[in-house]
C-alpha cells in the first residue's frame, strides 16, 4: 500500500477539518478546549471541558452530529512526531483512522477527525 493510498483510506479529507485548537488546564484536573472547525464549508467554533483533550474533542464532534466512540487506541512516537491509530465506532459502523501531530494530544485530535470524516452521516 502506498503512503497516498494509506492516507486516503485512513485519514481522508472530508467535510470536517480542523482550523485551530487550544486547550488549557482548569479545575479538578479537567481541560477546557476550544476548536475552530470547518464543517461543509461553514466555520464553527466549539468549546468543551472534559477530563482530557480526547474527551473534549469527542464531545465537540457530537455537538456537530459527527460523534464517534473510540474502541481501540494506539500511539507511537517517532523522532519528533506522534502517530495515533484509532478504531472508531458510530452506530455500529467501524473504521480505522490515524492522525499525526507534534504531541499525543494533537495526533489524537487529528485521528478523531479522520474517524469522524469516515463515519459522518452526511
Query: Which residue bears the cell 487529528?
Result: 110
pTM, rounded to two decimals: 0.92
From 5, 43, 50, 38, select the one nearest 113 (Cα to Cα): 38
Q: Is the pLDDT of residue 6 over 70?
A: yes
Alpha helices in the chain (DSSP H): 3-10, 53-63, 104-119
Q: Is the pLDDT of residue 95 over 90?
A: yes
Q: Is the pLDDT of residue 122 over 70?
A: no
Q: DSSP 3-state assignment of 107?
A: helix
The helix, strand and coil proportions of the chain, stated in percent and rounded to the nearest 5, come to 30, 45, 20
Architecture of domain 3-119: 2-Layer Sandwich (3.30)
pLDDT tens for each residue of 25-81: 998 899 999 999 999 989 999 999 999 999 999 999 999 999 999 999 999 999 899
Percentage above 70 pLDDT, the chain: 98
Amino acid at each position: 500500500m502506498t503512503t497516498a493510498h494509506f492516507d486516503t483510506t485512513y485519514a481522508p479529507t472530508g467535510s470536517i477539518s480542523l482550523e485551530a485548537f487550544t486547550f488549557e488546564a482548569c479545575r479538578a484536573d479537567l481541560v477546557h478546549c476550544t476548536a475552530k472547525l470547518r464543517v461543509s464549508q461553514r466555520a464553527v467554533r466549539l468549546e468543551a471541558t472534559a477530563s482530557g483533550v480526547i474527551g473534549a474533542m469527542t464531545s465537540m464532534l457530537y455537538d456537530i452530529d459527527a460523534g464517534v466512540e473510540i474502541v481501540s487506541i494506539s500511539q507511537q512516537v517517532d523522532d519528533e512526531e506522534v502517530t495515533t491509530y484509532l478504531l472508531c465506532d458510530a452506530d455500529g459502523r467501524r473504521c480505522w483512522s490515524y492522525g499525526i501531530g507534534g504531541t499525543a494530544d494533537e495526533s489524537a485530535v487529528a485521528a478523531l477527525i479522520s474517524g469522524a470524516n469516515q463515519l459522518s452521516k452526511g
